[in-house]
Structure 1
Amino acid sequence: MSRTVLITGATGTVSTALRKALKGADVKLRALVRDEASADGLRQQGLDVVIADLNDPRSLPAAFEGVQDAWLLTPNGPRAPEHNMNAVWAARQAGVERIVRLSVVRAAHDAPNRSGRLHALSDRETERCGLRWTILRPHWFMQNLLNEASDIAATGTFSLNMAAARIGMIDARDIAECAARVLLDDPDRHHGQTYTLTGPRSLTFDEVAHQMSLALDRSVTYLPVSDDAKRKTLLGYGVPTWIVDMLEEYAQAYVTGWGNVTTDTVADLLGRPPRDIADFVRDHASAFTPAADDNRNQDRG
């Protein structure tokens, strides 16, 4: 009999990739979203959609009813442990058999960033919840580079407050495929495991820029900036202060070498190497390349 998998954060980067990775598998997918606007597009794709909010425990029972496996992704924020608690409690009450939880790299009670410390609280709760569980702790997403795509396309440069930090960055599609592997395997196979997921190598952003230059056949340059400069830019885009603070804490930790971590876990789970930065850039080349109309306008100028 097919198992029903509940996907929380269903429209986010990793959960969207997970839905694609599970397409065609012998599972029934149920997507949890917070509003009707998000639900429409998913229903058009043939998904069972439930509108609920991890912030509202009263909304959750219907989402978890009849579910065997829950993919648990809580948004970053000071209330993340509360949201995890609400989901875990709803899962227990509904008789869910397994939770596969998305955490963060090096989550720990002494992590040098509040996100890592908050995730550690949720990880521990998940471990003690009485259900089968697996925790995935991915490194910095390559997809974060898409936030710099407009600058790269327009000027051939991008700016981050990472100095010469070396990071074992990973493609979110690999995270999703690892999650799919766990969800499709027997529930006992990965029970009690915490997997740190990284890309194949640690990279500086100068090296990222070099790989972009090769893949795009145009010059791309990384321009390191100060924490204050990046903060001003992010706040100017309307990014919430809590998120800006969190990103700054990660950047400061990465600059000390804290992110220079790689593992073989993706290869062990998938039977193939994780995607390299060159693969990511080639697959997203259009995002980093000036539009045809822009090129024509430049030619006229």
Structure 2
Amino acid sequence: MSRTVLITGATGTVSTALMRALQGTGVNLRALVRAKSGADGPRELGAEVFVGDLDDARSLPPAFEGVQDVWLLTPNGPRAPENGMNAVWAARQAGVERVVRLSVVGAAHDAPNRSGRLHALSDREIERCGMRWTILRPHWFMQNLLNEAGDISATGTFSLNMASARIGMIDVRDIAECAARVLLDDPDRHHGETYTLTGPRSLTFDEVAAQLGLALGRPVTYLPVGDDARRGTLLGHGVPEWIVDMLEEYARAYASGWGDLTTGTVVALLGRRPRDLADFARDHATAFAPAGERVTVESG
């Protein structure tokens, strides 16, 4: 009998990639979205769509009924532990067998950023939830670079307040494929495991710029800026202040060397090396190129 997997955060980058990774595997996909307007994407990926909000515990039971596995992704924000708590409550009430939770790299009660501390609270709840559980803690997403695509396409430069930070960044597609591997394996195989997921090497943003330049066939330059300049840019684009504060805390931690780490977990789970930044750059080159420009991909 096929297992039913409920995907929370179903319109987001990681969950969308996970649904793609689970297509054709025989599982029954179910997606939780906040509003009917978000249903089209998951439905196109073969998911049965339920409307519910992790902010509202009363809206969740129908989506969880008859589910064996839950992919738990909570939105970044001060209510993240409450959102996770509501999902765990609904899962327990519905008799869910397993929860696979997306946490963050370095989640701990003494993490140098509020996101890591909030995720640590939810991780601890999962560890004591009474169901089978696995926690994934991915590093900085390569796909975050797509936020800089407008500047790169227009000026050939991008600015971050990361100084000379070196980060073991990972492609979201690898996170999704690791999550799919866990969900497709026997529920006991990964029970009680916490996996830190990284790319194959730590990179500076000067090295990132060089790889993007190779993919585009023209120079790309990283321009480090201070926290105030970055804050002004983000606020100017409508990013909520809580998120801006969180990103600033991450940037300071990364600039101090906190993110200079890699693991062999992706290899252990997937039996292959994780995608390199060069792979990401080649696959997404058109996103960073000026409109209408023909991209010639070069090897690096």
* Structure 1 residues 278 and 57, CA gap change in structure 2 (3 angstroms): same
The residue that corresponds to 1:280 in the other structure is 280
* CA drift at 1:41: 3.7
**How many percent of aligned residue pairs carry the same amino acid?**
80
Structure 1 outlier segments of 4+, above 4 Å: none
What is the deviation of 1:293?
7.3
Q: Return the offset for 1:46.
A: 3.6
Give the SS at the match of 2:203: coil
**Number of aligned positions between the proteins:** 295
TM-score (norm 1): 0.96
Matching of residue 174 in structure 1 with residue 157 in structure 2: no
Cross-structure match for 1:8: 8
Kindly state the Cα deviation for residue 171 of structure 1 after the two structures are TM-superposed: 0.2
State the 1:131 CA deviation: 0.3
User: Structure 1: which 5+ runs fail to align?
Assistant: 296-301
**Residue 100 of structure 1 aligns to which amino acid in structure 2?**
V
CA–CA separation in structure 2 for the residues paired with 1:148 and 1:92? 41
Residue type at the aligned position of 1:207: E
Amino acid at match of 1:140: W
Aligned to 1:298: none
* Map 1:117-196 → 2, pairs under 5 A: 117-196=117-196
Q: Tell me how far 1:12 sits from its aligned partner.
A: 0.3
Say which is worse superposed, 124-133 or 211-220, in terms of deviation: 211-220
Structure 1 residue 215 displacement after superposition: 1.8
- Distance 1:47-1:174 versus aligned 2 partners, 3 A rule: same
3-state DSSP of counterpart to 1:292: coil
2:49 maps to 49
Shift of 1:43: 2.9
- CA separation in 2, counterparts of 1:240 and 1:249? 15
| Partner SS, residue 188 of structure 1 | coil
3-state SS of the aligned residue for 1:234? helix
Q: Decide whether aligned partners of structure 1 residues 45 and 16 sit closer, same or farther in structure 2, where only a CA change above 3 A counts.
A: closer
* Structure 1 counterpart of 2:228, one-letter code: D
Q: Is there any run of 5+ residues in structure 2 with no aligned partner, and where?
A: 296-300
Q: Would the alpha carbon gap of residues 246 and 276 (structure 1) be closer, same or farther in structure 2, given more than 3 Å must change?
A: same
2:209 match: 209
The answer on 1:235 being equivalent to 2:235 is: yes
Q: Give the superposition deviation at 1:214.
A: 1.4
Counterpart check, 1:20 vs 2:20: yes
Once the two structures are TM-superposed, the CA of residue 47 in structure 1 deviates from its matched residue by 2.0
CA distance in 1, matches of 2:206, 2:43: 42
Cα distance, 1:44 vs structure 2: 4.3
| Deviation string, structure 1 residues 33-54 (Cα, Å, up to 9, x no partner) | 0001001343344420000000
1:294 positional shift:
11
User: Alpha carbon RMSD of aligned pairs, Å?
Assistant: 1.2
Paired with 2:51 and 2:255, the residues of 1 have a C-alpha distance of: 40
For the residues of structure 1 that align with 2:293 and 2:189, how far apart are their CA atoms? Answer: 52
Question: In structure 2, what is the Cα distance between the partners aligned to 1:115 and 1:164?
Answer: 22
TM-score (norm. length: structure 2): 0.97
